[in-house]
Amino acid sequence: MATDMTNGSPLRLLVAFSWPLLVGNVIQMAYALADMVIVGRLLGREALAAVGSVGSTIFVVLGFVFGVTAGVAVVTAQRFGAGDPRGVRQSVGTGAWVCAAIAGAVTAACWLGTEAILRLLNTPPDIFEQTRAYLSVSFLGTPFMVFFNFQSATLRALGDSRTPLFFLAGASLLNVVLDILFITVFGMGVAGAAWATNTAILASALTCLACVTGRLPELRLRLSDWRPRPRMALRQLWIAVPMGLQFSVTGLGAMVLQAAINTFGVALVAGMTAARNVENVACQLPVALGQAMATYAAQNYGAGKLGRIRAGVRASVLVSVVSGLAMTALALCFGDLFVSAFLRERSEEVLAVGRRMLWVCAPFFVPLGLIFIFRNTLQGIGRSCLPMLAGFVEMAMRAGVALGLLRLLGVNAVYWGDPAAWVGAAALLVVAYWAYTRRWPHERGAEPCP
């Protein structure tokens, strides 16, 4: 059901909108973690390292297409907030063409360049073939991810965060079943984990399309709505490409850091892979709040209610800070338990790496959470270049640590790449938001900010 977020309590609206996103993000992360756990326990630490060593690479690609779909949906949310149903339909029809073209180009380029990417990452020879098999199949699933994420982003733009949750739940369960089936029964190795994810996402996307188009009148497009509109496409690209690049440049910094990590051997790669999955769990609530803020800000911006955006940001920051402190405490207290969940057999070397990673990174979960709040708010009002710049800051900080401090500090340098990136990006986004919102009372006849 579509939800108008331009009226009512900001905190209540954001909580109601974000909890399905939180559950959905956890579910979406669950089938990624299922790959890690099943691969690590069934195939061993070399297979776990193979999957984990290209996590940042997959994030670069999928992050870009996810950013594009979310950016396209910003225009849809603004038209919905402005009470323009015709504009909503036209935005969806044009956005489908934009996303399809980008998905095709990205898939072809990445699949053909798989081996070159792995060599740039300094992938260890003993896991090279497994890594190539996993990554090439993952790239082939990019169009399926775009297909599903475009539908999810469109639904969120209309204020419906619950419907994608049900289809993500189905995809997660199917992915776990297919993981075990493809790896143990069909003997497909690490490639089987990637094929399981691709199959589950495609099935979920097709089911979602069949169910949603008949239920939401806002998405019953007429034939004329499918005609590409160059001016609208340019508007969508103006927002979407910087959003996609913001995700990608963040991932590029992680790739540089990963290349440095790979030079220290399989044990370090496996330990950091497990620890980073703990970090992913810790940031899920801020991620959901950020996604909620993107829709909330876009709808209120379209309606000209700029003062409500500030109120929403204040509420989101409060919740994010509290959750960040709580997750820091949990990570520090139960880090060994979390890391060992990804291992078939206990390895003190791998556990020591994971423990060290969490003790360095966990105290910085609060600035990590602020990134999602302020980045999505700026993107929701169409200011996607500023978050892209913050992405470059993240990349520079990670690359600077990996390349600049590696010779000086050795292996200890790689532990500090993520915290440095989080602090740098969070500081830039907070300052950018504050500077931009100071002009709001003079823009678009906005109501005074409370």
Q: What is the pLDDT of residue 262?
A: 66
Q: How far apart are CA 145 and CA 149, in angstroms?
A: 6
Q: How far apart are CA 166 and CA 298, in angstroms?
A: 24
Q: What is the pLDDT of residue 266?
A: 67
> Is 98 within a domain?
yes
- Contact status, residue 177 vs residue 99, Cβ threshold 8 Å: no
| pLDDT average, residue stretch 430-449 | 64
Quick one: DSSP state of residue 343?
-
Band the pLDDT of 441: cuts 50, 70, 90.
low
> Is 2 within a domain?
no
Give the residue among 403, 114, 127 at the shortest CA–CA distance from 258.
Answer: 403
Q: What is the pLDDT of residue 30?
A: 66
Tell whether the model's pLDDT for residue 134 goes beyond 80.
Answer: yes
Q: What is the pLDDT of residue 250?
A: 66
For the chain, state the CA radius of gyration.
Answer: 21
| pLDDT average, residue stretch 94-116 | 89
Of 76-80, 263-267, 371-375, 399-403, which range is least confident?
A: 263-267
Q: What is the pLDDT of residue 450?
A: 31
Which of 91-105, 116-130, 245-259, 409-423 holds the top average pLDDT? 91-105
| pLDDT average, residue stretch 65-73 | 84
Give the residue among 224, 35, 239 at the shortest CA–CA distance from 153.
Answer: 239
Q: How far apart are CA 351 and CA 362, in angstroms?
A: 16
Cα-based distances in Å from 133 to 54, 106, 111, 179: 11, 18, 11, 15
The percent of the chain in helix, strand and coil, each rounded to the nearest 5, is: 85, 0, 15
> Is 447 within a domain?
no
Q: What is the pLDDT of residue 258?
A: 66
> Is 448 within a domain?
no
> Is 3 within a domain?
no
| pLDDT average, residue stretch 140-150 | 89
Q: Which helix (H) or strand (E) holds 52?
A: helix 45-52
Amino acid at 80: F
Q: What is the pLDDT of residue 254?
A: 65
Band the pLDDT of 257: cuts 50, 70, 90.
low
Which of 12-26, 288-302, 433-447 holds the top average pLDDT? 288-302
- To the nearest whole number, what is the mean pLDDT of the chain? 80
| pLDDT average, residue stretch 258-267 | 67
> Is 1 within a domain?
no
Q: What is the pLDDT of residues 175-233, one digit of tens each?
A: 888 888 888 888 888 888 889 888 988 988 888 887 777 666 777 777 888 888 888 88
Range of the domain at 206: 10-442
> Is 450 within a domain?
no
> Is 398 within a domain?
yes
Domain count of the chain?
1
Q: What is the pLDDT of residue 444?
A: 47
Q: Which helix (H) or strand (E) holds 231?
A: helix 230-262
Q: Which two tokens stand for residue 111?
A: 């699949």
| pLDDT average, residue stretch 146-162 | 84
Tell whether the model's pLDDT for residue 374 goes beyond 90.
Answer: yes
Number of Cβ within 10 Å of residue 438's Cβ equals 10
Q: What is the pLDDT of residue 401?
A: 73
Quick one: DSSP state of residue 383?
-
Band the pLDDT of 34: cuts 50, 70, 90.
low
Band the pLDDT of 376: cuts 50, 70, 90.
confident
Of 144-148, 338-342, 428-432, which range is least confident?
A: 338-342
What is the number of helices (H) and of strands (E) in the chain? 19, 0
More confident residue, 145 or 54: 145
- Contact status, residue 296 vs residue 309, Cβ threshold 8 Å: yes
Q: How far apart are CA 259 and CA 394, in angstroms?
A: 16
Task: Give pTM, 2 decimals.
Answer: 0.68
Give the residue among 74, 393, 9, 51 at the shortest CA–CA distance from 196.
Answer: 51
| pLDDT average, residue stretch 301-313 | 86
Of 82-96, 255-269, 349-363, which range is least confident?
A: 255-269
- Reported residue count of the chain is 450
- CA within 13 Å, CB half, 420: 20
Q: What percent of the chain has pLDDT over 70?
A: 85
| pLDDT average, residue stretch 379-386 | 79
Q: Which two tokens stand for residue 174?
A: 């199917």
Number of Cβ within 10 Å of residue 123's Cβ equals 26
